Structure 1
Amino acid sequence: MIQALLMCFVLCVVSGSSKPTERKSRIHDEDPLSRLEHDDNKNYDYDHEAFLGEEEARAFEQLPAEESRRRLGIIADKMDSNTDGFISEEELKNWIRTSQRRQIVDSVDQQWKDFDLNQDDQISWEEYKNTTYGSYLEDPQTDTEFNYVHMMARDERRFRAADTNGDLIADRKEFTAFLHPEDHKHMKDIVVQETMEDIDKNGDGFIDLKEYIGDMFTSEDGEDEPDWVTSERQQFSEFRDKNGDGKMDQEETLDWILPSDYDHAEAEAKHLLHESDANQDGKLTRDEILSKFEVFVGSQVTDFGEALLRHDEF
């Protein structure tokens, strides 16, 4: 039962009320570069995760400064794919995308072992269902906080959408689409459908302003709305509700949660270039990157670094 709950949070778009002043976003922007707030006035933690990936960024934070610079130098050499001695914005963007893809692959690998019960390098719907909902299937209970029948039906619908050959057996590519549907074009309809099911409380097939705001913010004891809620109301009227009918249909919801006009990897590459391009020639040298190592990777002067398991490339 506990595993079913955990998988629900991993696989389903989160529903329910948020904390009164906690902002919740439905926008996917592919798999996020980082779930941290991007505020360089406080720290460069977002940039570290975007550049390295979450786990690698955490490892770098424990390294002594000199070891951090040494490893960053190795990465800088790898980023220079055409070996011309410079790292262009395109090369920087490609590296960030590679880090992003690596996080997805690692996520799938970790869960693959749990679900491939017969170790045939495939995951059938039966294997997934029995692993995730086994305790419920053995002892169905209707008086629970969660509607497991609905959860299981929703998972099966997504599994079938990811299963491109229709055999109800997922290879790694299909299972990746199941776990990360926002990254696959043929899964966009499912992402939209799940989002609308979560937010459309009156079941009319649309998301109105009340439902849109209610998904992100719930007022308690008559407290005033935070400024960002007022801004979201304006966003809904000016940008989300494109046809001005007071609600979002499926197409408008798709434009909201899976925007196609913003490339986060490109934006992060431009940002890192701006922060580190000392001579402003539009490209980076190895020395420019190393002189700004705290922007790219961060470091603490600590002895913990030597105890970390090292990747082969370092």
Structure 2
Amino acid sequence: MLLTSLASLCVLAAVAFAVPAQEKRIHHQAQLSDHAHDDKDGYKYDHEAFLGKEEAKTFDQLTPEESKEKLSKIVDRIDTDKDGYVSHSELHYWIKHRQRRYIQDNVNKHWSDYDKNQDGKISWMEYKNTTYGYYLDEEFDDVDDKATYKAMLTRDERRFKMADRDRDGIATREEFTAFLHPEEFDYMRDVVVQETIEDIDKNGDGKINLHEYIGDMYTPEDGESEPEWVATEKKHFAEFRDTNQDGYLDANEVAQWVLPGEVDHADNEAKHLIHETDMDKDEKITKKEILANWNMFVGSQATNYGEDLTKRHDEL
């Protein structure tokens, strides 16, 4: 079980002017949804995978008729070659596109905050002055945790330089996207691993021991018994994470943990949706087949509410 920590920049966001919310550690190819993927318990995972997390919330407010109407239009967009079928490749591309949309929206939201001269690029000085400028003149003397703010500035500068592929001190939109979301770019792999180790490695020896590994996920309360999943994670550490069996996770082992490139969740979800929807088993789906299974793709609160009422009535 891998839990994503809250952003270390959250503290700074409360006092600086335009700091975007950033996770301190973002894992490559994250799950398409926070919900469990178990169709027996509903289709919330499929909704968020197919629509994107934010758009799924919008569909939750629609009636079944509105959902079906919007889904019909979405199918037309997915069918890029206009042959009347949605193939695996078309659905795979759509799901990946929807999952990347939140990243693009995040970059767009904050772009004007940093591009002060409106030249379509963001220099390191623009970012630094906007984010830390108020405190730089005083060398962070006005903040309680001076060392933390200095470390955050150093970390931001290192990540910015890594994202700046041509090393000109100026980030294009793509480079700035790599700065904000390094887990999405292969060339940012090293900085993601380095930041992960720094976040978890409490004794500063450059590697992660079992205590640090568990401590990043779980802090026991007084008198609390250890949850079963903690024992499972200890076993995973010993049997799967620590591949060289030396009792620590080094950079290569951390990379295998947080950047498991062999998993393509969008591909798996595309296969799942086609398998569940393809009535004639020709390995592609029509709009008719999709609309017949509309609740799996989009659903709505109205439908779920109606199902709840039916269940309650039956129980009575």
* 66-75 or 134-143: bigger deviation: 134-143
Say yes or no: does 1:112 pair with 2:87: no
The Cα of 1:301 is off from its aligned counterpart by 4.0
Residues 8-23 of structure 1 correspond to what in structure 2 (within 5 A)?
9-13=21-25
Cα–Cα, structure 1 residues 301 and 222, in superposed 2: closer, same or farther, change >3 Å?
closer
TM-score w.r.t. the length of structure 1 is 0.85
Gaps of 5+ in 2: 1-11, 304-316
Instruction: Work out the CA distance in 2 between the residues paired with 1:3 and 1:286.
Output: 50
The Cα of 1:145 is off from its aligned counterpart by 4.5
Residues 117-156 of structure 1 correspond to what in structure 2 (within 5 A)?
117-139=116-138, 140-141=140-141, 144-145=144-145, 147-156=148-157
TM-score w.r.t. the length of structure 2 is 0.84
Is contact 2:17-2:130 (8 Å) kept? no
Say yes or no: does 1:254 pair with 2:260: no
Say yes or no: does 1:264 pair with 2:265: yes
Partner residue in 1 for 2:71 = 72
Instruction: Work out the CA distance in 1 between the residues paired with 2:153 and 2:16.
Output: 9
Say yes or no: does 1:99 pair with 2:111: no
Deviation readout 1:33-91 (Å, 9 max, x if unpaired): 23444343433222222111222222222222112111111111222233332222222
The Cα of 1:176 is off from its aligned counterpart by 0.6
Is contact 1:11-1:179 (8 Å) kept? no
Is contact 1:29-1:264 (8 Å) kept? no
Instruction: Work out the CA distance in 1 between the residues paired with 2:251 and 2:204.
Output: 13
The Cα of 1:267 is off from its aligned counterpart by 1.3
Instruction: Work out the CA distance in 1 between the residues paired with 2:209 and 2:18.
Output: 30
Partner residue in 2 for 1:63 = 62
Cα–Cα, structure 1 residues 6 and 216, in superposed 2: closer, same or farther, change >3 Å?
farther
Amino acid at match of 1:68: S
Amino acid at match of 2:129: N
Partner residue in 1 for 2:313 = none
Cα–Cα, structure 1 residues 182 and 143, in superposed 2: closer, same or farther, change >3 Å?
same
The Cα of 1:12 is off from its aligned counterpart by 2.5
Deviation readout 1:288-308 (Å, 9 max, x if unpaired): 111111111122449xxxxxx
2:177 alignment partner, SS class: helix
Is contact 1:31-1:180 (8 Å) kept? no
Is contact 2:59-2:300 (8 Å) kept? yes
Residues 93-242 of structure 1 correspond to what in structure 2 (within 5 A)?
93-139=92-138, 140-141=140-141, 144-145=144-145, 147-242=148-243
Amino acid at match of 1:141: D
Instruction: Work out the CA distance in 2 between the residues paired with 1:160 and 1:245.
Output: 33
Instruction: Work out the CA distance in 2 between the residues paired with 1:218 and 1:51.
Output: 35
Instruction: Work out the CA distance in 2 between the residues paired with 1:278 and 1:3.
Output: 56
Partner residue in 2 for 1:17 = none
